[in-house]
Amino acid sequence: MGLTLPNGQCCIDQRILQQEAVAFFKDVYTGDSSNGLSFPVRNQFPSIPAPLINSLSALIADEEVRSALFEMSPVKAPGLDVITALFYQSH
């Protein structure tokens, strides 16, 4: 399978195809609309504050797991393994 390059030639060289793919997506995502392929994404999404990012990557304390486990109803909504919270609460 090949790709028609901007100069009209068909190419099957994997190295050139990779370069063309990288160039294509750089053009698409940089916001340069002169090529008609613009997909500007910069500053379009809210940023996540650093403290929140840090809290999401923090270690989970044993007490947090225990607290969450014992807040669950013992026999409702088993997981895909069909083991209910009761099993974990009692072991």
d(CA 82, CA 65): 20
pLDDT computed for residue 35 by the predictor: 54
The pLDDT tens digits along the chain (91 residues) read 678 888 888 989 999 989 988 888 887 777 555 555 555 566 677 788 889 988 888 899 999 999 999 999 998 877 788 888 898 899 8
pLDDT computed for residue 61 by the predictor: 93
pLDDT computed for residue 41 by the predictor: 63
Q: pTM to 2 decimals?
A: 0.40
